[in-house]
Chains A and B, each alone.
Chain A
């Protein structure tokens, strides 16, 4: 009898797990279940549709129906998994008509994702208050933009700022309110965050940090928000205060939830219950610098975990070493990237660090078109290992972040980086690679 693999969730993690499972076992019966009407799209692209960089939401569909057909994957849309029985190895499902069914599995993969967390702000139920998670959310916000002149975004994380940038690009008077004292608090140190904030403010965005939204104002419909005693009028509000792992189903099935409130997994992405795997926003990872569990909740983590989960669920062997939280984004013409620990988070886990910060250019002074690039390197004092980097630049941020992610994964010291062999040609780079210069500055502090 063919192996039966059931996957709950059908986006980045679900489909990649299914693909890996299919590559491992050509005859398995692979079933994906999703509550949503559309499977296999890229939610990360939604802010860029709102900003009109991508012409339509349909373009975000990475895996059309034909892909599932080609890979012989049984996709069940608008279907909810209501219960898992890990002893009987069954999943109870219910389709949109209310019809219930029990699926038997040999391996189960939980790619249940995450949901947007909305803090209990007074007035959050009003018309014109949105979250951004699904294509449906994106379409609603897109419609609302057409009928709005101003917007408030609550939360200055990646999604919040990407959305706020899109609002400015669409001509809305946009205010961002962040409870913590800086933008991108999970990604950047305060000094680097200030540069991003200044740039966004120059583009016309208003940013209020260190304050919560006390109330969303209006009768039925939003007319403004109240922040630190000030009333800010607006036609719409987007709440982007982070996502939480969807773990209800796992918890009810007796599967262990970790300290990060994600599903606890081992190196093979197997949960506390045999033959049940987890991947994506709902699953914990190990941080490669701290060795501690972390909830990465990034697209790259999702697909990397899913490949491992899918391979193992189909009888193969694969391990997931962990994450550094490598992430990049682009606000207007500025690229921002991070990998590993910030100085702030390094300190919080007890590491003593030195930093090397440099502002350089992406091409020599004499070559037209060079753009500034700022790099902050975080180095652990005793081992002299690079533990993190933050970068803000006009171009070529992503591959530098990747290079330093590799360096951290290979436990490279700042001394090695200062001697690194790099490539140069006037139209492409400076003779002295900015990452190497940042290493030299950090090194000086270690002498």
Chain B
């Protein structure tokens, strides 16, 4: 894991420019928001997430995350069908602030076009560069 000006960027993940991460787990992917996103939003109070079975499309909003002072759309980093939703995030949204890459995951998705869509995401090295540009 690398820290860019205090923002954590773990290795082995893919990143979208909508501040989400993607972790490939076999034929499924796990997604969540980045450390940078949770730090910008600050004290998160609510996450509005779709139900399992919902299909989502890359670059389209699928939910919102709301903090004491801010609110932001959650934008799908990949297309697919939602297999699982992290219900713990809904009951304890503060885990998005505490642990955005592990306990604070949002969805497990069965991707429909992963190989092609990965090209639209950043790998670790690109994500580090992108984070550097964000803090300029």
Contacts and interface: CB of A to CB of B under 8 A. Distances in A.
Leading 5 A-B pairs by shortest Cβ distance: A70-B72, A23-B71, A67-B40, A66-B134, A19-B69
A66 B36 contact: yes
Given A19-B71, A66-B19, 6 more contacts: A19-B70, A22-B71, A23-B66, A23-B70, A64-B134, A66-B36
B64 interface: yes
B73 interface: yes
A70 B134 contact: no
Interface in B111-136: 134-135
Given A64-B134, A64-B135, A70 B19 contact: yes
Interface of B: 19, 36-37, 40-41, 64, 66, 69-73, 134-135
A19 B43 CA distance: 14
Contacts of A71: 70-72
A41 to B, nearest CB: 14
B135 A67 contact: no
Interface in A27-66: 64-66
Nearest to B33: A70
A281 interface: no
A122 interface: no
A273 B41 CA distance: 33
Interface residues of A, number: 12
A65 B135 CA distance: 9
B16 to A, nearest CB: 12
A174 to B, nearest CB: 33
A66 B19 CA distance: 9
A28 to B, nearest CB: 12
A16 B70 CA distance: 9
A64 B19 CA distance: 14
Contact of B71 (A16, A26, A64, A65): A26
* Most central of B40, B64, B73 by chain A CB within 10 Å: B40
Interface in A63-121: 64-67, 70-72
A23 B70 CA distance: 6
B41 A70 contact: yes
Contacts of B37: 70
A26 B40 contact: no
Contacts of B64: 26
A250 B71 CA distance: 30
A64 B66 CA distance: 18
Given A70-B37, A70-B41, A22 B134 contact: no
A67 B36 contact: no
A67 B40 CA distance: 7
Instruction: Tell me the dominant secondary structure on chain A's binding face.
Output: helix
A25 to B, nearest CB: 10
A70 B69 contact: no
Contact of B69 (A16, A65, A66, A72): A16
B135 A70 contact: no
12 contacts: A16-B69, A19-B70, A19-B71, A23-B66, A23-B71, A64-B135, A65-B134, A66-B19, A67-B40, A70-B40, A70-B41, A72-B73
Nearest to A72: B73
Contacts of B73: 72
Nearest to B131: A66
A65 B130 CA distance: 13
Contacts of A22: 70-71
Contacts of B72: 70-71
B15 to A, nearest CB: 13
Contacts of B69: 16, 19, 23
A66 B40 CA distance: 8
A233 to B, nearest CB: 41
Contacts of A16: 69
Contacts of B71: 19, 22-23, 26, 71
A72 B18 CA distance: 11
Contacts of B19: 66, 70
Interface string A1-27: 000000000000000100100110010
A74 to B, nearest CB: 15
Contacts of B41: 70
A148 B64 CA distance: 52
A309 to B, nearest CB: 15
A26 B40 CA distance: 18
Determine which residue in B64, B71, B73, B134 has the highest number of CB atoms from chain A within 10 A of its CB, and name it. Answer: B71
Contacts of B135: 64
Nearest to A18: B70
A26 B46 CA distance: 15
B62 to A, nearest CB: 14
B47 to A, nearest CB: 14
Contacts of A19: 69-71
A67 B41 CA distance: 8
Contacts of B66: 23
A346 B72 CA distance: 46
Contacts of B40: 64, 66-67, 70
